[in-house]
């Protein structure tokens, strides 16, 4: 029995050595993790800007601006994000020499922006029409009413959904390996091809994704509790 445990332990530590320590392979994982995190952050920020713009367009009083905003959301939601990534890389940026990180940011930002615009729109719609009417009846312009009355209230409904979109985005970035970016998933895959051991690297990568998302989820839960508490006053 003891012999069996020692045997297992030896095998395990050998696997850890082979997959992570030897030739400093853990650096591949760390670099991949860094890429995944940075890409997710730049993409969500770009997505928030695009989402805000799309929301503005969709609320415009001019029909053709509304049509542009609507078409953007419609096309992005109607096609796989994988396709969008490939098109951005091999069609849009085909003849331009830009950093892959920029390509990834644009692709995932464009994708996220469409969903974020929906989140913004729902948040704004969740505020009672009477609030707008009260603001306008006091002589505030429509943008003042939006800035001082609607958005401060809508943000409570927007933030948790936005944080959720961020979590989705982190996992979505796992497909950047297809345009040869070395993110967390790709790092695990590289190690697998070096060591012919799938079990260790893939499990380690999955665990890291899980921990990343778990930390964020705890953050969202805290945020929601905080926002609810401020409702009580």
Partner 1 sequence: MIVVNGLCKTFDKTPVLRGIDEHIHQGEKVVIIGPSGSGKSTFLRCLNLLETPTSGTILIEGEDITAPGANVDKIRQKMGMVFQQFNLFPHLNVLDNITLSPVKTGKNTKEEARDIAFSLLKRVGLEEKAGSFPGQLSGGQKQRIAIIRALAMSPDVMLFDEPTSALDPEMVGEVLQVMKDLAEAGMTMVVVTHEMGFAREVASRVLFMDEGLIAEQGEPDEFFKNPKNERTRSFLSRVGI
Closest to partner 1 by CB, 96 vs 232, is 232
Closest to partner 1 by CB, 44 vs 149, is 149
* Burial label, 21 (beta-carbon count in 10 A; 0-12, 13-18, 19+): exposed
C-alpha dist (Å) from residue 17 to 25, 72, 218, 233: 9, 48, 32, 56
Closest to partner 1 by CB, 83 vs 229, is 229
Chain residues in the site for partner 1 (CB under 8 A): 128, 130-131, 133-141, 144, 148-149, 152-153, 231-233
Closest to partner 1 by CB, 136 vs 192, is 136
CB of 123 vs partner 1, minimal distance in Å: 14
The 10 Å Cβ neighbour count of residue 180 is 9
Considering Cα of 105, then 109, then 110, then 111, what sign does the dihedral take? positive
CB of 67 vs partner 1, minimal distance in Å: 23
Closest to partner 1 by CB, 7 vs 152, is 152
Closest to partner 1 by CB, 167 vs 227, is 227
CB of 152 vs partner 1, minimal distance in Å: 5
Q: What is the C-alpha radius of gyration for the chain, rounded to an integer number of angstroms?
A: 23
Closest to partner 1 by CB, 60 vs 153, is 153
Query: Comparing C-alpha atoms, which of 159, 181, 186, 209 is closest to residue 108?
Result: 181
CB of 146 vs partner 1, minimal distance in Å: 12
CB of 165 vs partner 1, minimal distance in Å: 23
CB of 180 vs partner 1, minimal distance in Å: 47
CB of 215 vs partner 1, minimal distance in Å: 29
């Amino acid at each position: 029995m003891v012999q069996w445990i020692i045997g297992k332990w030896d095998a395990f530590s050998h696997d850890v050595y082979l997959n992570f320590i030897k030739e400093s392979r853990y650096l591949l994982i760390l670099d991949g993790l860094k890429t995944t995190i940075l890409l997710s952050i730049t993409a969500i920020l770009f997505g928030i800007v695009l989402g805000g713009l799309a929301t503005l367009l969709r609320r415009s009083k001019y029909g053709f601006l509304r049509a542009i905003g609507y078409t953007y959301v419609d096309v992005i939601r109607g096609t796989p994000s994988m396709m969008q990534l490939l098109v951005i890389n091999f069609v849009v940026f085909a003849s331009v020499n830009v950093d892959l990180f920029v390509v990834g940011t644009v692709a995932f930002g464009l994708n996220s922006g469409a969903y974020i615009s929906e989140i913004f729109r729902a948040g704004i719609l969740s505020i009672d029409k009477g609030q707008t009417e009260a603001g306008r009846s006091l002589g505030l312009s429509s943008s003042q009413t939006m800035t001082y009355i609607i958005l401060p209230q809508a943000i409570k409904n927007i933030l948790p959904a936005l944080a959720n979109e961020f979590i989705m985005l982190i996992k979505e970035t796992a497909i950047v390996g297809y345009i040869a970016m070395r993110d967390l998933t790709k790092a695990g895959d590289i190690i697998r091809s070096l060591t012919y051991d799938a079990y260790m690297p893939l499990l380690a990568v999955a665990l890291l994704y899980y921990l990343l998302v778990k930390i964020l989820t705890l953050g969202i839960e805290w945020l929601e509790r905080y926002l609810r508490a401020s409702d009580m006053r």
